[in-house]
Structure 1
């Protein structure tokens, strides 16, 4: 959906559905207060403009001295939930320029080690937030509030993978627990002539690698995933001779510290523009070939 097509009514509908799920069985005070004030001209007047215009450090695989990341529009409104006050309603661009969708940012990326006393409680909060995020986005989908799945469907209907007619350029493994995102990233790569295999988390990725007949030329990897996260997968890959040298591109919305970034061969924060992603893939593959 284009930004100019997002109305106050649509934002109100998305907010009401969010609140109904996030504060289910809570008191009525949890709902947004009713008002008789006329609607403002800008439907985003209650949002923080969280637009990102960043430069990637060269150490993370991106030539920061030569180009910047594309500017992405991202609007955030903190609504919280019954257990956790920092969860946000987000309207943003991601991958497909100019197309906006609604999503939930759980905003719970605080790093707590397993040996810390509150670790189990914190992990329970994260699991609850993730489940709630899925519930809210499912409600939006049923109510025709545009989510990332609508972006994915629209893009796949255009069949970008058929635009490439040359020889296949190699196999790329995409590891991401967000199916819609993995499918769209896969479609972009197929449109550039790559074969793509997907996995939903690190453990499934290891299983895929054991059974693939062709060695991947690149792994595109998310950070936070169930069962085995991205950094654990990288450590597993580096422990075995057959997979030690596989190039890895971290593409994630998670907060990743410098040491973890440098465990990979490239890093790109989500949300990202499709051109930035494809350029970084080409840069990394060129480096692998010594070009």
Structure 2
């Protein structure tokens, strides 16, 4: 099933928002700490991310989604189905990282209705966990919390910019279901 992916212009806007949020230091929680380190704007983006973005910029518009910087996820096939896969992936991922964690990704998902797209900031940190009680457990839990805060802030900025996000889709779907069910 083919779906309407965002235009390269929209993806670049999503990338700009992602980078602005992901590479701006999070203000410290206490007033004393804030006085010492007021946010100064985004930090420089790591060279690996800059190289990915330069590769994407050099990709012709009509081949944008064929760029090697995108990780792709194909639609699953039914068990035993020998037919060829869909021609278009259902997900594109671009590893952009953040100040504390280099593996955070911008995700472009096919929407559940199969027609459009949704943007998501994937923290990409839930697939591994330190052993319970290990020295690393508390630090990793803090990293995951920071990553979640960054992802939520990115998705919030995308929503403010009128870009479709998965959370926004879920809220709208819940409202549609409530309305169809008589409000509750």
TM-score computed with the length of structure 1 as normaliser: 0.44
Corresponding residue number in structure 2 for 1:42: 63
- What is the match of residue 110 of structure 2? 93
Residue matched to 1:22: 22
Q: Is the 8 A contact 2:110 2:118 kept in 1?
A: yes
Give me the whole-angstrom Cα distance separating, in 2, the residues matched to 1:53 and 1:140. Answer: 28
Following the alignment from structure 2 to structure 1, what is the Cα–Cα distance between the partners of residues 161 and 64? Answer: 19
Mapped partners of 2:73, 2:130: distance in 1: 26
Q: Secondary structure at the match of 1:128?
A: helix
User: Which whole-Å deviations, capped at 9, do the CAs of 1:48-96 have from their partners, x for residues lacking one?
Assistant: 11234166xxxxxxxx689xxxx87011111111110111110113533
Query: Deviations 1:221-265 (Å, cap 9, x if unpaired)?
Result: xxxxxxxxxxxxxxxxxxxxxxxxxxxxxxxxxxxxxxxxxxxxx
Q: CA deviation at 1:115?
A: 1.2
Name structure 1 gaps, 5 residues minimum. 56-63, 165-186, 188-194, 196-291
Which has the larger strand fraction?
1
Number of equivalences = 153
SS at match of 1:41: helix
What is the CA–CA distance in structure 1 between the aligned matches of 2:157 and 2:4, rounded to whole Å? 23
RMSD: 3.4
Query: Is the 1:99–1:151 contact (alpha carbons within 8 Å) kept by the matching residues of 2?
Result: no
**Which residue is 1:8 aligned to?**
8
Q: Tell me how far apart the structure 2 counterparts of residues 26 and 161 of structure 1 sit (CA, whole Å).
A: 42
TM-score normalised per structure 2: 0.67
| SS in structure 2 at match of 1:120 | helix
Larger Rg: 1
Q: Does 1:132 align with 2:150?
A: yes
Runs (4 or more) in structure 1 with deviation over 2 Å come to: 2-5, 25-40, 42-46, 93-99, 149-164
Per-residue deviation at 1:29? Answer: 4.1
CA–CA distance in 2 between the matches of 1:151 and 1:29? 30
Could you tell me how far 1:135 is from its partner in structure 2?
Answer: 0.2
Q: Residue in 2 aligned with 1:78?
A: 95
Name the structure 2 match of 1:51: 74
Q: What is aligned with 1:151?
A: 169
**Larger RCO: Structure 1 or Structure 2 (Cα < 8 Å, ≥ 6 residues apart)?**
2
Mapped to 2, the partners of 1:114 and 1:137 lie a distance apart of 30
- Structure 1 stretch 153-162 or stretch 110-119: which is displaced more? 153-162
Output the CA distance in 1 between the equivalents of 2:42 and 2:106. 19
| Contact residue 51 and residue 75 of structure 1 kept, 8 A | no
Structure 1 equivalent of residue 31 of structure 2: none
Which ranges of structure 2 fall in alignment gaps of 5 or more residues? 25-40
2:171 and 2:135 map into 1 onto residues whose CA distance is 44
